Amino acid sequence: MDKKLGQRPEVLEQIRKDIAAAEKQRRELRFTYNLNYFGQGNIQVLKNDEFVAELESFLFTLPQEKADEKIKILTNLGEGALAEEIEVRERALALLSPIVKFYLDRNDKKSIVVLVHALCSWLEFETELLPGFAVLNKRFESALQWLQDNACWSEAEEAIILLNRIQTGSLKKTKAIASLTSKTLRNLEKKAVVEKLTDGYLLENDQQQLFRNMLHAIGQKAAVYLLNRVIHSDSRTERLALLDLIPTFGKVAIPALEHCLELDPPWAVVRNIINIIAKQGIDEQFALVERYFCHPDERVQYEMISCVLKLGGQQKIPRLITALGVVRDRLKIYLLRLLVEQAEQSDKVVDALIDLTEKKIIYSHQAGHELLLAIIATLKNYPSEKVAKQLKKMRDEYDGKVDTEQLQLHIDEALKVIQPKIRHDRQNAGKYQDIVSFDSDPVQQQLALEKVRKIEEEVQGFVRAGKLPQAGELIYDQAIAAAKMKDFLVAGLLRDRLLEISPMALAEVIKLGEFIDNQKSTSITSHHLEIWNELYEEMTTEEFNELYYSLRQENYHKGDIIVASGETDTNLYFLNSGFISISCTIGGKEIFLKRMHPSDVLGGDQFFSPSVWTVTLKALSEIQVHVLDHSTFIKIVESYPGIEDKLRRYCQKYSQITELLKMSGDDRREYPRYLAALQTENVLLDPYGKKGKRVFRGELLDISKQGLAFTIRISNSNNARLLLGRHIITTIVHRDEVMPQLIGVIVGVKLFEPIMQDYSVHVKLAKSMEDNLLKKALSFARRIQ
């Protein structure tokens, strides 16, 4: 009895141990079962207190060889953090907090990366401030810091961008969540981090976009750092790369730019900021730098002009005009070129140019000399009464002043170009009420396009419905109707549109074209056919119709000047009715040469050979002329190559001006011409008076005190036409001796030797040659008898 009692405690202890072992085994079996269940993605098992309590220690003791199992558990915990049920979500998050700390302490990169991704997904998903949020957010921050410290940039990118989305409000969160996460981002925005990201970006490898994204996510602090780095960098390559990067920050970078400008930085910094504003392309930010048009450094002024061009928009021209009044003279010349290129016919541009001429520009200074020449060249692009009046005023102001011959030559040449255009513009504007409009009129073109646009609206309705045959029928019918109404421009546009809609409807297009041509033939008046019968016989019906419907009709009153001697006007004039006088100027007096009648054609010399007019055409009565623009004729020649020779022969057959001038008994030159078989070296000036770099040689033909002529070889006749009106510097060369430069304007370019394609270039000098220079040239020449 006593013996049994003595053994009872041991037995009981063993029983307890057996029970505990059995319970432990059952608990392990339950954990294993739940773990497998959890591994299959069933996150509901997180409601099991026992499983949750044991999962943490299980992970902490999991051997290295089971790393895949560990990653799977961590991934599923991340899924649990996204559960709709708050209970499940809270338990997953409660586990994640210590687990993140555990693996951070052990520098387990693979686990940290999985956990950061899980926390990113949770933070994007979460809408409530659950218990422990602040602690877990701190763990998240520590994990991101670890990734940054270990240069795991690609792994950190997702988190940094997520925090930026919350901070900027693009990802909506409660104020409490946004406040905590914004603090996290601010703690990560350390200068050392931004510096590392910038260094990574500058490597320009396959991770450059990643570094750029992270810098964007950091935002304003990154923009401030980048701007300071640009300012203090000694590497041009680095500066250029960062100047391309900063604008991509958009409005985020603006506070940094504003602050920098408030410090009155050096010119180079100002220029860089202007460059950034331009690349951002945000027009409203231009106000930030607008005052720098007046910056004393020309390089900053130039950058401002570039900024205006890059921003573009409706304010481009007004801003360029503003700059014109304040930038340095050399940049004014650059602006004048830009205004011609960027602006069409603009009254504001003309007013700005006239205001500029009113300023006291010192002609004797080289910059002032070049600026005045550039202003005149620019005014030439805006033919109007206002411009002509201002040019005449300038000519009077500089008349008689020392060394202004070149300037006056530019003014005279500009007037001779714009005055014919003014007369033609008056005609096109409808000054004479009886003008008949032809297809070449810009006004008629606009009206035709408007008619076609209205038809096009109905056509597009068929196209959108997939009814292309009906669309083609509509276009065809409308084109026929337009041709019957003698609206040939609309008919032609619709014919082209039919081919676009139905590329296979060639038969219909050809039939339509024939109908239009037939209507054109029947629309030409018998009066017109009678007058131009000989020209009609020279050409095919198609050629004559194309020519006729490219003409522009103009009417002049008795006493009107049609073209004045010395003017540049490349139009060809067909006199339909009335009478025109041809006259020339000899010794300052106007000499009548001939009275021209209907069926006479005028201007052939200037139309086919680039040269100024040597005679004046004046209306002796009410007259009507048809005008052929040279640029329009070039397009006709592309379709009908043979028409050029036919029209040229016709003009030569009836041209009498050369013979009339010879009969006048004077070559109209104030000074005699001399043959001079010498070499010339020539340099063209650009339209703004700037000397070109290319020197081309010529063979001198003749020379006088006020002009000269030389031959050059030109392979393309169009290039010959481009020389007309160009200012030129010519130097006469004999053996090793070079004579002083002669400045003039090209007034004629004529075919001299057809086989060799040699042209004679005729130059009017800005200043009469000195007697000693002329004598020097004449020592190698003989006078023309």
Same domain, 607 and 694: no
Examine the pLDDT at 342 and tell me if it is beyond 70: yes
The predicted pLDDT at position 437 comes to 39
Alpha helices in 343-404 (DSSP H): 347-358, 366-379, 385-398
Same domain, 570 and 644: yes
Q: In this structure, what CATH number is given to the domain that contains residue 633?
A: 2.60.120.10
Who contacts 502 (Cβ-Cβ below 8 Å, separation ≥6)? 468, 469, 471, 472, 508
Q: Is residue 407 part of a domain?
A: yes
Q: Is residue 179 part of a domain?
A: yes
Q: What does the pLDDT average to over 687-697?
A: 85
Same domain, 718 and 766: yes
Q: Is residue 509 part of a domain?
A: yes
Same domain, 170 and 62: yes
Q: Is residue 637 part of a domain?
A: yes
Band of the pLDDT at 517, cuts 50, 70, 90? confident
Residue type, 496: D
Who contacts 135 (Cβ-Cβ below 8 Å, separation ≥6)? 97
Same domain, 464 and 389: no
Same domain, 134 and 60: yes
Same domain, 405 and 522: no
Query: What residue numbers bound the domain in which 685 lies?
Result: 674-783
Same domain, 66 and 149: yes
Convert the pLDDT of each residue in 70-80 to its tens digit. Answer: 899 899 999 98
Of the candidates 355, 412, 421, the one whose C-alpha atom is nearest the C-alpha of residue 382 is 421
| CA 680 vs CA 111, 347, 719: distances in Å | 84, 42, 19
Question: Which has more confidence, 391 or 447?
Answer: 391
Q: Is residue 277 part of a domain?
A: no
C-alpha–C-alpha distance, residues 729 and 361, integer Å: 24
Convert the pLDDT of each residue in 573-628 to its tens digit. Answer: 999 888 999 998 877 788 888 898 888 899 988 888 888 888 999 999 989 898 99
Same domain, 414 and 516: no
Q: DSSP per residue over 685-753, as a string?
A: BPTTSPBPS--EEEEEEEEETTEEEEEEE-S-HHHHHHHTT-EEEEEEEETTEEPPPEEEEEEEEEEEE
Cα first-last separation, the chain: 168
Examine the pLDDT at 436 and tell me if it is beyond 50: no
Alpha-carbon dihedral of residues 102, 104, 106, 107, nearest 10 degrees?
A: 160
Q: Is residue 654 part of a domain?
A: yes
Examine the pLDDT at 636 and tell me if it is beyond 50: yes
Convert the pLDDT of each residue in 79-126 to its tens digit. Answer: 988 999 999 888 889 999 999 999 999 999 999 999 999 999 999 998
Q: Is residue 203 part of a domain?
A: no
Convert the pLDDT of each residue in 720-733 to its tens digit. Answer: 888 888 999 999 88
Q: What does the pLDDT average to over 754-774?
A: 88
Convert the pLDDT of each residue in 747-757 to its tens digit. Answer: 989 888 888 88
739: left (phi over 0), alpha (psi -120 to 50) or beta: beta
Number of domains in the chain: 5
Q: Is residue 216 part of a domain?
A: no
Same domain, 597 and 714: no
Q: What does residue 738 show for φ and ψ, rounded to 5 degrees?
A: -115, 130
Same domain, 384 and 453: no
Same domain, 691 and 777: yes
Q: What does residue 620 show for φ and ψ, rounded to 5 degrees?
A: -90, -10
Question: Which has more confidence, 134 or 363?
Answer: 134
